[in-house]
Structure 1
């Protein structure tokens, strides 16, 4: 009888969901316990089935935190409760934390679930919920941009377009600025730099009441776009403005949720100067960025890819490639697919160098030994 009971408990809905979630995202019990704000011994008892959880509110909270339907934890549909502002904020905060930990696939799953639930709940033009919807769309677009490649930028773009619509509806310049900024950035990412610049300039010029963090983030990304367009004077001007604005914000309290700060400006400078062939200047800025950014896995991988780019472009190919190989492994492990584009850029640069060296070598051999006959 006791064996039957133990077996039944080990197959409880909660035990199954916890095991599946840990297996899917390769998490330790300690990591998941920390996410759920419970003691690791409690989580072990849940997962083994030694303890059954009957608290409906706690089960509902776990379902939300793990991005699963409440029914999977044995909750009837009638136990559904509306999303409160506090609840939405807690999920948004948790997803941003997952981004900083470079747990990108988890972040994507959770934010898409929140967006689905929030859209289902909004039936009227409630300005408070619409504001939360815009913030959720911002985060959903950002996370999607992290886990997809450049040719899939439309996925993020759709979120930002909807964010723009909501921001205009509630007349919020800060949210509108962020939406236009990232729409422009996605167009640039997809290769349409002129169109991207139009959106980025609109963010700068048509949202006078946007807060400092949104404006600073916008001009930083506009500077990036100007560099891609070869407009170097405008690049320098925008980056100087972005650096000045970054001194006026608290990255932990800003509308960009820490994705724009003095550290991100320094990283942008570093990556930009490496593209311009100014390797020493690039590495100096990346050192400054490392000192300014929070020591999280997200920023660690981002800075490592930027250093790999700078080293290869500066001629230190062996050390740059070794660093790039480390980046590939971390990007694949953590789902930061967007940063893989930098590694492809390194490969393209090396391929171009190989062709140039091959042509130069052929020219030199022919001058020394005469034309090669086939």
Structure 2
């Protein structure tokens, strides 16, 4: 009987596959792009600052030196650095949760929206905002979003498992149906908002926004995203085996039921924490893992960290566009990701069809 290590090699790409790029150069390139994007995110805005001044403020803050007089310290450290870091954390988390969900349903074009998890998290967070239950803190909002995500995932799983067995197509169809139902209920709650300003803020948040970033707000994703990366990376070989089907994975020594339960919990916690701080952001969780898979193959030992890096780069760049594209107002993040993601997805689908995969 083959071992899980053998399963990992079979499920992942062969080292000699010409279509697969080496992981380390890709990771190094993405890390450099992320550093450049973070620098640009903090430097550019209504008041542009030189990168040297930006890094000077950051260095003084990190070393405990006294800040220099002026507004640069306020702009850099209190306003733009938290927002840039939040964008990177949200992007990394979306890349991870998309990769996990795609392995869960054995579909490279799946994401939390497809399974209704994002809709459940949004419903929980909107209910907390409209009803005033725990909406005053990031932790309370994250808890409400997590509860909505976990209940939705459990409901989708129960519907998909009716009659015994597990069918990815049935799981997806259940997720789409339940997600649309929850979306309608969320819209009803928005209409019940107490005042016009609250309704406007909830609708803007549902389209995705990083405008409320603070050091306190990034605390939750700063814990959940690295923790999810560690947990998922530790189960990378199991994820590789899962791609070959439940029976094959079980024959290779993987406890499929336990692995799926762990994936449910990890993706629900991660989705809830991300939706709570950024709202609903479409396409990132679908597009980033799929793109990384085309570059480095299906081996999750490579795919998970690269999806996190790729998602972080994409979200930081998207947030720069949202803040600077229009003078009078800020664009919702979800609008920009949809405008980028839909054409990119069509291109990726066309490429896969031409390759016969």
TM over 0.5: no
Normalising to structure 1: TM-score of the pair? 0.25
Structure showing greater relative contact order (alpha-carbon pairs closer than 8 Å, 6 or more residues apart): 2
Give the structure with the higher percent helix. 1
Q: Which structure is larger by alpha-carbon Rg, 1 or 2?
A: 1
